[in-house]
Amino acid sequence: MSDDLLALAAATDTALATATDLRAWDAIRVGVLGKSGSLTEKLKALGALPPDQRRERGAAINRAKDAITAAIETRKAALESAALDAKLSGERIDVTLPPLLAPPGLIHPISRTMEEMAAIFGAMGISIAEGPDIEDDWRNFGALNIPAHHSAREDMDTFYLPGLNGDARRRVMRTHTSPVQVRTMLSQEPPIRVIVPGRTYRADHDATHSPMFHQVEGLVIDRGITLGHLKGCLIDFLREFFGISSLPVRFRSSYFPFTEPSMEVDIGWNRRTGELGGGGDWLEILGSGMVHPKVLANCGIDPREWQGFAFGMGIERVTMLKHGIPDLRPFYESDIRWLRHYGFSALAPVALHERV
């Protein structure tokens, strides 16, 4: 490369280095490579050279042009990058600012427990049945072998409503979800596998009783269902629900009008710490039994052919135990602070494969 070209390349480099923005850079580019740029002028002067020199000189100029063009483009990229950096540095935000969050919605613990029950019992082929909160006294009592003089029918336990025209049966707020047993047996041929979670009502109001509460009823009727199946079904449920595979479960002989034999079910816990699973104490958790032959017969099912079991469990009670909720009354208070504390996310629905 001849001296003048080297000098031009050097001068261009120097000029580029001093260009601090794209405008200055463009002036340099035009000054060298533009129509009347210094390099362009040299190209124009080629024609005046003798042919033998022209080729050599032309090749030299083209090499110089490539080098200078590369230098110019490199500088352009550098300047653009610097300009973007400068622009971005002016767009800085405070990343510690609190974002605008969608307020978290909540599922009530009672609903959560009902969904967990549906999932666990559902895996045993048990579906959900339901019935109205206002029942007649036959479905709530008589059909279930609770005769008219039984103390459970007393006003002190049962809420009554005025009768409707032309109906001799008394209307009651159902005191348990068991009337749905009766509805199910009358509307469906065995085999039957249902649970009935729902609202129930008793005239009792203190620290551990609410005039409205929730119960889940279970009813399994088939040929050859034994008390052993009752135990298996409830043990399977309780261990899964509480997530304790070794949860001790005890069955005690008891009495309910609608089952025979009847039994109360206890789980092992530590009375002092409230911890479930061990500790040597027993906590009564639900009532159960083989469906009484009278209940089957009242619903038109021949107890010689069909037999099965039923159980009833307080939903608040197992919810309190599972989550360590100490007090019953806030369940119905709708205190937003309590709901936020104990509520569940809508986006984590109950799923057995994710563990209930």
Amino acid at 282: W
State which of residues 34, 303, 325, 329 lies at the interface with other proteins (CB under 8 A): 303
Q: Minimum CB separation from other proteins for residue 273, in Å?
A: 21
Candidates 11-19, 34-42, 76-84, 207-215: pick the segment binding other proteins (CB under 8 A): 207-215
What are the DSSP calls for 200-229, one per residue? EE-S--BTTB-SEEEEEEEEEEETT--HHH
Task: Mark residues 317-356: x for contact with other proteins by CB under 8 A, - for none.
Answer: --------------xxxxxxx-xx--x-xxx-x-------
State which of residues 38, 40, 69, 111 lies at the interface with other proteins (CB under 8 A): 111
State which of residues 40, 236, 270, 329 lies at the interface with other proteins (CB under 8 A): 236
Nearer to other proteins, 24 or 227 (CB): 227
State which of residues 123, 188, 189, 281 lies at the interface with other proteins (CB under 8 A): 123
Q: CA 117 from chain center: how many Å?
A: 15
User: With binding defined as CB under 8 A, does residue 93 bind other proteins?
Assistant: no
Task: Mark residues 270-299: x for contact with other proteins by CB under 8 A, - for none.
Answer: --------------------x-xxx-xxxx
Q: In what order do the strands lie in the sheet with 249-256?
A: 127-128, 192-201, 212-222, 307-314, 281-291, 259-269, 249-256
Q: Could you tell me if 234 and 259 are in contact, meaning their C-beta atoms sit under 8 angstroms apart?
A: no
164-203 positions binding other proteins, by CB under 8 A? 164, 171, 173, 182, 186, 193, 199, 201, 203
- φ and ψ at residue 281, rounded to 5 degrees: -100, 165
State which of residues 235, 244, 283, 325 lies at the interface with other proteins (CB under 8 A): 235
Amino acid at 60: A
* Nearest residue to 161 via CA among 174, 150, 149: 174
49-68 positions binding other proteins, by CB under 8 A? none
9-28 positions binding other proteins, by CB under 8 A? none
Q: Minimum CB separation from other proteins for residue 276, in Å?
A: 19
Give the CA radius of gyration of the chain: 42
Burial of residue 288, with CB atoms counted within 10 A of its CB: 0-12 exposed, 13-18 middle, 19 or more buried? buried
User: With binding defined as CB under 8 A, does residue 246 bind other proteins?
Assistant: no
Please tell me the distance from the alpha carbon of residue 184 to that of residue 83, in angstroms, as a whole number: 77
User: With binding defined as CB under 8 A, does residue 118 bind other proteins?
Assistant: yes
